[in-house]
């Protein structure tokens, strides 16, 4: 085995990490800020892919514009979901779990009723369906796009949470909702906006996954498990999810390089279970009251 | 509610009693599935209309409805119309076996058409065999099964890749890399493919399996890049297959330098991935939409115009399903002629199905017939290359029908005969799955 192949595996690891991370970002925000375990996260990803498909197929919107548009559309869905359902369930984690699971079924079957269960197709500019190569190194252009979008979103989220007034409010509510409320922060509004933000991020992930993968009503299910793992291992914070995705993505790629894909997954899940046995609160757990 | 031990035992006792009860009256009831002349003939159609398997299986249901409509318009089966009882198996193997019982006991169907995956087939076979019923399994599978209650109209593993591997070796070179989904059919298919590869003088550089439903092909494609094969042999199925072809191009692989030879990537898959990702690759199948013969033209036009043709394409899996309806028609009529219409049972149909031919005038893929020993299908595998518009150009067709052989790679286990699996020592075992 030569040096080039290992380097390629490491680069691929970064790309796999970015895919795992972007799937987990929305869930991290919603779980971290509002403490809601959103079982419908996979279906929000699926809605993002279908939004892009709709915009492209019916309105002829170019693909790159579909990405932010999917953010807006799915964020609106998230907003409606939060106002219509989740806001009544904030202090009942088990009920939110069941309710969001129900929502996921409704969304999946609803999309199936409207679009049918046959797979859909997202067209991208020709330049994205090729690769960049430099000597023995090679990576697909679209993987670079996913990586860039993920990096951009992480930066934007960091700025939002640590450099704006809204971010301070969110962090205050995360630490202690009642105390924050007594300082005049409208916690209900903060929850609503963070939920919409998290949903919108899932929408962005969906419009990217529609290109890597296939647009189907059931596509969300394959991403939601790994997204949950990243959030749990990361401890629900943004930095935690970034580190967790980075490490597991690299492990996935390197293990698969030395053995095979199936064994790599097996090893990762075993390691995660062992890790959670010794650190159930995740990598970077926030001090503060949990609801 | 507090469960004491006593209460629990009592409940469990009641529950097991309730479970046992149906068996007391079921057999006599089930036997009395007497057919009456003039009443429609009920058949079960057992596919998933929802869930992960819905993509291929919904089309199977639609094409069967089309076939039965066509048969009914032409006078039905044995003079009576066929009435398909359509159920949704919801991509859940428990539902498959539950619905099988329901179709046999409640609806009293004369035969069941169903299943797309080997897993669901193996889930319902015990019930089918216990009731001595009849399953038409209308798609490809790995073989290594010998029951007295199935008829299969798709290619077996020994037929599927027989021509494809030598063709690819001749045209592209000796070195090949195997990629498949991680379950029984790809693994068994690859065992067959290895035999053909050895005969063709090829060289296997690597073999990788991807979890079902996975969409991450980066690591595998990196390995293929390092191994530099002349072509890839793929048994990746479903949504993964589409992700595989997309990422193949996105990672900079060139189809003219290293094409994928697949057993699964047909018209439906190419439409879903976009023709630009499918173009140039190869598929081995008994049927392609572009087959140039009057029967196929009639089938494609008729189906797409019918209310069942909403997906806009025909596909090898759909054609094999379509054929199964005609195999059923001939089998039933032969049985009715032999034992009388009222006395036809699933057993009688199967016993009279050996050697049944579906002629050029009916079969879109051309003449096929049912093997009179193992009840799989003699057919001509064809190799097609995907074109820029997503249709396939046939580049090679077998000269003659290839014999199905479910135990081709396991000669030590035996040969499948109509009475059961005949071991080399002459012992016959029935219903081997």
Q: Give dist(CA A146, CA A223) in Å, integer.
A: 15
DSSP string, A121-168: -----GGGSSEEEETTEEEEHHHHHHHHHHHHHHHHHHHHHHHSHHHH
Q: Of B153, B156, B155, nearest to B326 (Cα)?
A: B153
Task: Give yes or no: residues B341 and B258 share one domain.
Answer: no
Question: A141: distance to nearest CA of chain B, Å?
Answer: 7
Q: What pLDDT was estimated at residue B19?
A: 43
Q: What angle do CA A261, A265, A271 make, to 5 degrees?
A: 145
Backbone φ and ψ of B385, nearest 5°: -115, 130
Q: Is B137 on the interface with A (CB under 8 A)?
A: no
Whether residue B212 lies inside any domain: the answer is yes
Global pTM reads: 0.84
Task: Give yes or no: residues B138 and B247 share one domain.
Answer: no
Which of B340, B370, B400 is the last residue before a domain boundary?
Answer: B370
Chain B partners within 8 Å of A112 (Cβ)? 50
Q: Give dist(CA B345, CA B325) in Å, integer.
A: 17
B 178-207: CB under 8 A from A: 182
Give kind and range of the element (H or E) at residue A75: helix A63-84
Task: Give yes or no: residues B248 and B279 share one domain.
Answer: yes
Chain A partners within 8 Å of B54 (Cβ)? 117
Please state, rounded to an integer, the average pLDDT across all residues of chain B: 86
Question: A165: distance to nearest CA of chain B, Å?
Answer: 39
The domain spanning residue A96 has which CATH number?
1.10.3470
Q: Is A49 on the interface with B (CB under 8 A)?
A: no
Please check the confidence at residue B213 and state whether its pLDDT lies above 80. Answer: no
Task: Give yes or no: residues B135 and B38 share one domain.
Answer: yes
Structure tokens at B291: 């087959």
Whether residue B384 lies inside any domain: the answer is no
Whether residue A289 lies inside any domain: the answer is no
Task: Give yes or no: residues B121 and B233 share one domain.
Answer: no
The answer to whether A117 contacts B54, with C-beta atoms less than 8 Å apart, is: yes
Contact (CB, 8 A) for B211 and B243:
no
The domain spanning residue B188 has which CATH number?
3.40.50.2300
Task: Give yes or no: residues B105 and B173 share one domain.
Answer: no
Please check the confidence at residue B102 and state whether its pLDDT lies above 60. Answer: yes
Pairing of strands A137-140, A131-134: antiparallel
Q: Is A23 helix (H, G, I), strand (E, B) or coil?
A: helix
Chain B partners within 8 Å of A257 (Cβ)? 219, 222-223
A18-46 pLDDT, tens per residue?
999 999 999 999 988 888 889 999 999 99
Q: Give dist(CA A184, CA B41) in Å, integer.
A: 73
Which of B256, B285, B314 is the last residue before a domain boundary?
Answer: B285
B6: exposed, middle or buried (Cβ count in 10 Å: 0-12, 13-18, 19+): exposed
The structural domain count of chain A equals 1
The answer to whether A214 contacts B239, with C-beta atoms less than 8 Å apart, is: yes
Chain B partners within 8 Å of A142 (Cβ)? 250
Q: Give dist(CA A18, CA A11) in Å, integer.
A: 11
Whether residue A291 lies inside any domain: the answer is no
Task: Give yes or no: residues B249 and B330 share one domain.
Answer: no
Strand order in the sheet with B382-386: B203-210, B175-181, B231-235, B260-262, B282-285, B382-386, B392-397
Task: Give yes or no: residues B53 and B106 share one domain.
Answer: yes
Q: Of B326, B372, B286, nearest to B82 (Cα)?
A: B326
Q: Give dist(CA B67, CA B65) in Å, integer.
A: 5
10 Å Cβ neighbour count for B16? 10
For A119, nearest residue in chain B (alpha carbons): B272
Whether residue A38 lies inside any domain: the answer is yes
Which range, B61-70, B89-98, B389-398, has the best average confidence (pLDDT)?
A: B61-70
Q: What pLDDT was estimated at residue A286?
A: 61
Range of the domain at B90: 33-155+291-370
Three-state secondary structure of chain B: CCCCHHHHHHHHHHHHHHHHCHHHHHHHHHHCCCCCCCCCEEEEEEECCCCCCHHHHHHHHHHHHHHHHHHHHCCCECCECEEEEEEECCCCHHHHHHHHHHHHHCCCCCCEEECCCHHHHHHHHHHHHHCCCCEEECCCECCCCECCCEEECCCEHHHHCCCHHHHHHHHHCCEEEEEEECCHHHHHHHHHHHHHHHHCCCEEEEEEEECCCCCCCHHHHHHHHHHCCCEEEEECCHHHHHHHHHHHHHCCCCCCCCCEEECCCCHHHHHHHCHHHHCCCEEEECCCCCCCCHHHHHHHHHHHHCCCCCCCCCCHHHHHHHHHHHHHHHHHHHHHHHHCHHHCCHHHHHHCCCCCEECCCCCCCCCEEECCCCCCEEECCEEEEECCCCCEEEEEECCCCECCCCCCCCCCCCEEECCEEECCCCCEECCEC
Whether residue A285 lies inside any domain: the answer is no
For B271, nearest residue in chain A (alpha carbons): A121
Range of the domain at A154: 3-278
Whether residue A99 lies inside any domain: the answer is yes
Q: Is B271 on the interface with A (CB under 8 A)?
A: yes
The answer to whether B250 contacts A216, with C-beta atoms less than 8 Å apart, is: no
Question: B142: distance to nearest CA of chain A, Å?
Answer: 21
Of B49, B215, B218, the CB nearest to A222: B215
The interface predicted TM-score of the complex, written ipTM, equals 0.85
Question: B133: distance to nearest CA of chain A, Å?
Answer: 31
pLDDT by residue for chain A (291 residues), tens digit each? Answer: 578 888 888 999 999 999 999 999 999 999 888 888 899 999 999 999 999 999 999 999 999 999 999 999 999 999 999 999 998 988 888 899 999 999 999 999 899 889 887 788 888 888 887 888 877 788 889 999 999 999 999 999 999 999 999 999 998 988 888 889 899 999 899 999 999 999 999 999 999 999 888 888 888 888 888 899 999 999 888 999 999 999 999 999 999 999 888 899 899 999 999 999 998 888 886 654 444
Give kind and range of the element (H or E) at residue A25: helix A3-29
Task: Give yes or no: residues B57 and B40 share one domain.
Answer: yes
Contact (CB, 8 A) for A61 and A217:
no
Whether residue A163 lies inside any domain: the answer is yes
Whether residue A37 lies inside any domain: the answer is yes
Whether residue B168 lies inside any domain: the answer is yes
Task: Give yes or no: residues B138 and B59 share one domain.
Answer: yes
Whether residue B431 lies inside any domain: the answer is no
Task: Please tell me which residue, B129 or B5, carries the higher pLDDT value.
Answer: B129
A247-268 pLDDT, tens per residue?
999 999 999 999 888 899 899 9
Question: What Rg do the C-alpha atoms of chain A give, in angstroms?
Answer: 19
The structural domain count of chain B equals 2
Give kind and range of the element (H or E) at residue A172: helix A165-175
Whether residue A283 lies inside any domain: the answer is no
**Structure-derived torsion over alpha carbons of residues B26, B28, B31, B36, reported in degrees to the nearest 10:** -110
Chain A partners within 8 Å of B116 (Cβ)? none
Whether residue B407 lies inside any domain: the answer is no
Which of B370, B397, B420 is the last residue before a domain boundary?
Answer: B370
């Amino acid at each position: 085995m030569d040096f080039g192949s290992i380097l390629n595996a490491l680069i691929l690891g970064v790309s796999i990490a970015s895919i795992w991370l972007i799937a987990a970002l929305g869930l991290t925000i919603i779980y971290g800020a509002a403490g809601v375990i959103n079982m419908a996260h996979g279906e929000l990803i699926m809605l993002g892919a279908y939004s892009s498909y709709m915009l492209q197929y019916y309105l002829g919107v170019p693909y790159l514009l579909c990405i932010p548009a999917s953010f807006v559309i799915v964020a609106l869905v998230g907003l409606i979901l939060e106002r219509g359902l989740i806001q009544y369930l904030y202090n009942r984690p088990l009920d939110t779990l069941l309710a969001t699971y129900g929502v996921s079924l409704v969304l999946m079957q609803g999309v199936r009723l409207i679009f049918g269960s046959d797979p859909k197709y997202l067209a991208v500019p020709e330049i994205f369906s090729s690769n960049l190569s430099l000597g023995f190194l090679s990576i697909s252009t679209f993987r670079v796009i996913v990586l860039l979008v993920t990096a951009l979103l992480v930066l934007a989220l960091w700025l939002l949470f640590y450099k704006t007034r809204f971010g301070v409010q969110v962090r205050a509510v995360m630490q202690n909702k009642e105390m924050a409320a007594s300082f005049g922060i409208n916690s209900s509004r903060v929850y609503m906006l963070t939920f919409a933000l998290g949903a919108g991020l899932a929408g962005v992930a969906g419009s990217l996954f529609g290109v890597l993968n296939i647009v189907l009503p059931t596509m969300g299910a394959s991403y939601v498990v790994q997204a949950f793992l990243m959030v749990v291992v990361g401890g629900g914070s943004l930095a935690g999810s970034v580190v967790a995705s980075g490490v597991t993505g690299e492990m996935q790629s390197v293990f698969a390089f030395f053995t095979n894909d199936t064994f790599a997954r097996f090893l990762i899940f075993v390691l995660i279970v062992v890790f959670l046995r010794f650190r159930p609160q995740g990598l970077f757990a926030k001090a503060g009251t949990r609801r | 509610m507090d469960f004491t031990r006593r209460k629990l035992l009592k409940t469990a006792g009641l529950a097991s009693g309730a479970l046992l009860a149906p068996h007391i009256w079921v057999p006599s009831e089930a036997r009395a599935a007497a057919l009456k002349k003039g009443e429609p003939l009920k058949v079960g159609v057992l596919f998933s209309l929802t869930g992960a398997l819905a993509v291929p299986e919904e089309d199977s249901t639609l094409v069967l409805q089309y076939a039965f409509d066509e048969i009914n318009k032409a006078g039905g089966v044995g003079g009576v119309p066929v009435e398909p009882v359509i159920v949704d198996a919801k991509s859940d193997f428990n539902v498959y076996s539950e619905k099988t019982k329901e179709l046999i006991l409640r609806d009293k169907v004369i035969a069941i058409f169903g299943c797309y995956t080997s897993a669901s087939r193996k889930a319902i076979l015990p019930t089918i065999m216990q009731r001595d019923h009849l399953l038409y399994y209308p798609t490809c599978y790995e073989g290594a099964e010998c029951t007295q209650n199935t008829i299969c109209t798709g290619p077996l593993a020994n037929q599927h890749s027989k021509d494809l591997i030598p063709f690819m070796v001749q045209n592209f070179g000796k070195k090949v890399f195997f990629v498949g989904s991680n379950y029984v059919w790809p693994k068994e298919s690859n065992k067959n493919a290895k035999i053909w590869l050895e005969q063709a003088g090829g060289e296997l550089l690597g073999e990788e399996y991807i979890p079902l439903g996975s969409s991450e092909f980066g690591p595998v494609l990196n390995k293929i890049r390092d191994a530099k094969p002349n072509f890839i042999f793929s048994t990746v199925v479903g949504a993964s297959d589409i992700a595989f072809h997309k990422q193949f191009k996105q990672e900079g692989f060139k189809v003219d330098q290293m094409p994928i030879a697949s057993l699964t990537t047909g018209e439906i898959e190419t439409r879903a991935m976009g023709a630009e990702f499918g173009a140039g690759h190869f598929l081995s199948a008994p049927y392609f939409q572009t087959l140039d013969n009057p029967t196929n033209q009639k089938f494609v036009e008729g189906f797409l115009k019918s209310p069942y043709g909403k997906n806009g394409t025909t596909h090898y899996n759909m054609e094999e399903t379509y054929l199964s309806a005609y195999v059923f028609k001939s089998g039933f009529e032969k049985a009715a002629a032999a034992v009388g219409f009222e006395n036809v049972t699933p057993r009688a149909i199967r016993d009279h199905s050996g050697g049944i031919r579906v002629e050029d005038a009916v079969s879109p893929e051309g003449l096929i017939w049912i093997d009179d020993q193992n009840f799989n299908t003699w057919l001509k595998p064809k190799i097609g290359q995907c074109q820029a518009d997503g249709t396939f150009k046939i580049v090679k067709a077998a000269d003659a029908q290839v014999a199905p052989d479910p135990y081709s790679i396991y000669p030590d286990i035996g040969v499948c005969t109509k009475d059961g699996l005949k071991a080399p020592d002459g012992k016959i075992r029935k219903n081997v799955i």
